[in-house]
Amino acid sequence: MSGDSPPQVISLQHPSGLTLKLMDYGATWLSCCVPLADGNMRETILGSARPLDDITQHAYMGAMVGRYTNRIANATLRLNGQDITLQKDATKPHQLHGGPDGFNRRQWTILAHTPTTVALSLLSPDGDQGFPGALTTTITISLSGAHQITLQIHAVTSKPCPVCVTHHPYFNLDAVQTDSRQHILQINADYYLPIDENLLPLGNIAKVDDVFEFRQPRSINVHWLQGEQQRRAGGYDHAYLVNLARKNGEPAAMITGSDGRLTLRISTSLPAMQLYCGQSLGGILNRNGKPLERCAGVALEPQFLPDSPNHPEWPQPNCWLAPNEVYQHTICYDFSAN
């Protein structure tokens, strides 16, 4: 855990009542409360009882992750015929979410704070977790509407480096946050990325079949643990290649709580969406100090496809950032209450 100061908690509130609480460690969202149609407030993300618990748990709940989201096979990059060795995950031979001391474990600098907006920045030095180049990342989080939160991510580097910085909340839109597999999910994607036993991409992009078909809204549990792909991950832990030609205003993903009272639409400029249903959440303490259930929340992570630094053949924009370029992406969370 990097940083010398205690966590600083920041609160944002829209006149509508929409409230977001976050901290500078990991730029982590601690709470996101949305007003329902009857005026009651509903918590929409998982979180811990104390900010320090959110720093030390290993599920990345609510944190910004980077410098490269998801897995990089064998913790190795290849650039101009040369291998670049990255810091490995603590228990696996690959790298996950930017390394064991990634952006989720760093204390970000608060640049500006208004009642509805906060801007934070982080300098990742050359060689950090094995990545080349000094990377400066700035994020701006805004309550951009009565039920809308917009996240703008900006990064520049001093050397060529793959960059994929994103947000990792676990959503549960129900009044009681238990098993989220009853949620209704839609993902605007025709293709997904099959994985091996280590949850690394096999290399081929596959057309969604019945098990991975979420182009039409349906309950997550309809095909739960069906097929070899899901058995390898203990459920859904797969990246979808979002349809770039989706109609104007269509979100990349949409999820509705099991009681139908709250829906979330996620729009993004990033090319892929990781669906992870929280199979490893069981036992982590929630805000009430009680253990979370397995699959208590759904992570929908806008990103580049995992291991894409080593797969330039995949049909998505280049994930390598050059010193004369700017990484600039947007994620929008748009809630609607019934």
Q: Which residues are catalytic?
A: 168, 301
Strands 28-35 and 71-72: unpaired
Q: What is the 3-state secondary structure (H, E, C) of the chain?
A: CCCCCCCCEEEEECCCCCEEEEECECCEEEEEEEECCCCCEEECECCCCCHHHHHHCCCCCCEEECCECCEEHHHEEEECCEEEECCCCCCCCCEECCCCCCHHHCECEEEEECCCEEEEEEEECCCHHHCCCCEEEEEEEEEEECCEEEEEEEEEECCCEECECEEECCECCCCCCCCHHHCEEEECEEEECCECCCCCECCCCEECCCCCCCCCCEEHHHHCCCCHHHHHHCCCEEEEEECCCCCCCCCCEEEECCCCCEEEEEEECCCEEEEECCCCCCCCECCCCCECCCCCCEEEEEECCCCHHHCCCCCCCCCEECCCCCEEEEEEEEEEEC
* CB atoms closer than 10 angstroms to residue 77: 24
- The answer to whether 43 and 59 are in contact (CB under 8 A) is no
CA distance linking residue 265 with residue 246, whole number of Å: 14
